[in-house]
Amino acid sequence: MHNLKHLFVALFLAGLFVAPSAFADKDALKKALAETMPSIAIDDISDSKIKGLYEVMVGSDVFYVSEDGKYLIQGHMFDLAAKKDLTEDKLAEARAVLINGVAKDQMIIFKAPDNKGTVTIFTDIDCGYCRKLHAEMDKYLAEGITIQYLFYPRAGKDSESYKKAVSVWCADDRNTALTVAKSSSNPPAEKTCKNPVDAHMALGEKLGVRGTPMMVTEKGTIFPGYMPAKQLAEALQQDK
């Protein structure tokens, strides 16, 4: 969750984070953390690469806690010898699980005839760079890149952008409706139906979407913002 840091600060200021003296095992530490931070759902606690420091997963976020429960660290852990960001690797794994857990019928997909890679993009119909990206869809498809769209109207629920997203989803031909909506200043005919827009937005919040477009690869790597087709194809090759 992108406001995890602010939540920790609030807990400390409120005096709610009371460090226990010692824990015999990870299960005991998890239970204690759940009691001191009840609003945070801890998914997993595992050994980190540093002895005496546990890795704690909360959705698609990671932080570190000393084995005695006395110290909490939020930040990235680097392997200097390997020149590798160990925390980013873990975050990418968590993102991949979340993204790949979305059913295909809950996305709007533009499939490349010769698929060489897939990116899931959080998009806002009224976002300028989202429109630029979509206007170049043929170039992405020609590079073998399949585009899977999830909606993230930045203005929030019940905004005009949100209503457009719902209307596109409820159209008979979603792909065509999305293309028309992104290429026109006129809003699509307003429709309502059961839709996944709220679920898309909730997932975006978990993944810390700050702006659109935001691309997520199958491995959970994030490419924020617009990227030309050839550049994205090269980035996906390096992501394998």
Q: SS3 of 27, please?
A: helix
**Does this model's pTM top 0.85?**
no
Peptide bond into 188 cis (omega under 30): no
pLDDT digits (tens, 9 = 90+) for 134-156: 999 999 999 999 999 999 999 99
Lookup result for tokens 């006395």? 70
* Domains of the chain as residue ranges with CATH: 4-89 (3.10.450.70), 105-239 (3.40.30.10)
Cα 22 to Cα 125: distance, rounded to the nearest angstrom: 51
* Catalytic residue selected from 126, 127, 131, 170: 127
Q: Which residues contact 146 (CB under 8 A, 6 or more apart)?
A: 109, 110, 111, 112, 115, 117, 118, 119
* Catalytic residue selected from 124, 126, 131, 170: 124
pLDDT digits (tens, 9 = 90+) for 89-118: 889 999 999 999 999 999 999 999 999 999
pLDDT digits (tens, 9 = 90+) for 20-67: 444 557 778 877 787 777 777 888 888 888 888 888 988 778 889 888
The answer to whether 170 is a known catalytic residue is no
* Catalytic residue selected from 126, 130, 131, 170: 130
The answer to whether 210 is a known catalytic residue is no
Provide the token pair at 19.
């460090």
